[in-house]
Amino acid sequence: MQQNVILVIGGSSGIGLAAAQKLCDAGNVVYCGARSACPDDRISSLILDVTKPETIINAVEKILDETGRIDKLVYSAGCSMAAPVEFADEEDYRYLFEVNFFGALSAIRAVLPHMRAQNFGRIVLIGSMGGILPIAYDAFYSSSKAALAMLAKGLNLEVKPYGISAVAVLPGGTATRFTFKRKVYPEEKVGEYSSDMDRSVGALAGMEQGGMSAQEVADTVLKALSLPEPPSVMAAGFINKTYYLSQKILPDKLTQYLISNQYNLN
């Protein structure tokens, strides 16, 4: 891969960190934008909060001051919560969308003018198979990731003439600390949904911790960044590619049944 200047938002842990390190290994100039510093000293840290667009703009301006360009963006910031739609607090689901979707939108809008000026740019948004196949009791997360995939598709219709492309990379269950950072509503807040939600959360944790490694997902990120004409959506890993294709052909009722069974809801 030719040396590029790359901003990885959410690059201090998990998939973002794995991608930032692999990009650095490949000889790129890599910046991490996050609320905490990147643990890898080779990667320049820019402290930002994705719910505050001005901090993203400031980070991009600093990169431009230091390097004169910004070639690629990886948006890997995200959060999740287990809660029934009926009882979820508005503050919580609005915050989730601020981090998962609107933060990505702010980052895209911050880099696009500079990518257009240089007639080149690559944008990778870390989506989720949960945006294609819903996660039980994590409907807000699934909805935000579905929105990211459609954002990539719609954006490509606009920016292709400027040598820019966007890709939503879809991991499935991935063994990171993300599992243990999930906000899980307590039993007293979820009422009659409690037993179903408890089984669902346990099943999801098992799928994540028994799933892909962050490094495997990062390999797909690097591929998406390097392809001359990448697709708008790329599933990470063979199994997830199979799931991605199957959801296009299986009847909805069968898909719903299989998902319910996967989360121990049948």
Q: Which helix (H) or strand (E) holds 115?
A: helix 103-118
Q: Which of 75, 141, 185, 193 is catalytic?
A: 141
> What is the C-alpha separation between 205 and 202, in angstroms, rounded?
5
141 as an active site residue: the answer is yes
Q: Which two tokens stand for residue 6?
A: 């790359």
**Which has the closest alpha carbon to 18: 213, 148, 212, 236?**
213
β partners of residue 6? 30, 72
User: Is the distance from CB of 12 to CB of 76 less than 8 angstroms?
Assistant: no
> What is the C-alpha separation between 157 and 152, in angstroms, rounded?
9
DSSP 41: T
Residues belonging to the active site: 141
